[in-house]
Amino acid sequence: MKTAIVTGASSGIGEAAARRLGGDGWRLLLVARREDRLKALADSLPDASYLALDVTEADAPQKVRAAVEERFGGQLDLLVNNAGGSWRAPFAEGGYENVHKTMELNFDSPVRLTEALLPLLRASAPSSIVNVASIAGRVARSTAGSYGASKAALIGWTDSLHLEERSGGVHVGLVLPGFVSTEGFPQESLKRNPATRWIVGKPEQVADAIVAAGPGGRAERIVPRGYAAFPFLRIVAPWLVRRLSG
């Protein structure tokens, strides 16, 4: 039976990914901070256990690896680096501290966790890693510079890691959500407006993209797919994107 880790699994995209993978017959290790939410989710799935921790803690990668070795016998077929967050503020107000804490969660943590688990993924090959970034890593938004920078770093690192690991059978895929309605990002203003309601995606769509970019072997998935126009415009007409974003 295939085994997978999903971080940020207590709600939103992580929960949807866990339900999708669990429904497909995967054995799961769910990772997030909220133990009550993790336990409820694990109990609702066919074969899932959980580990409640903060992925930014210094010993978090070692704890996750120990759990994989104990519960899966060291087999790991899929790592979904989904945990993340955002603290919106103009740089003049949030400063370096906001950049630092956002990078620590959205970039440093998946890098550190991947480093700890890569030997297990290599030993279990063919296997896969999916990093959940964001369209914000390709197209900037005001007051979200810290978030966009963290996701841009994740995108660049993902592309490089794919090139390094593909010969050994570890596929590294990337998922770029746009506006997706979750507990942390409810998108209420967009959903209330008939003119913008259509651009808001669902966590289940991202879960499908995670499967496609992981075991499905695809390089990259954008959700909703219409958002692919924005990175394209950023390349061919950056002045227009800046004007529209402003």
- Could you give the residue numbers annotated as active site? 147
Q: Is the dihedral of CA 81, 87, 89, 93 positive or negative?
A: negative
As a dihedral over the C-alpha atoms of residue 33, residue 204, residue 151, residue 106, rounded to 10 degrees, the angle is: 10
Q: Three-state SS for 74?
A: coil
Question: What φ, ψ does residue 98 adopt, rounded to 5°?
Answer: -70, -40
Residue ranges of alpha helices (H) inside the chain are 12-23, 35-44, 60-72, 91-103, 109-123, 145-165, 188-192, 203-213, 229-236, 238-245
Can you give the C-alpha Rg of the chain in angstroms? Answer: 18
**Cis peptide before 61, with omega less than 30 degrees from 0?**
no
Phi-psi region of 43 (alpha: psi -120 to 50; beta: other; left: phi over 0): alpha
Q: Is the dihedral of CA 199, 12, 121, 102 positive or negative?
A: positive
The Cα-based distances of 51 to 32, 39, 240 in angstroms read 7, 9, 45
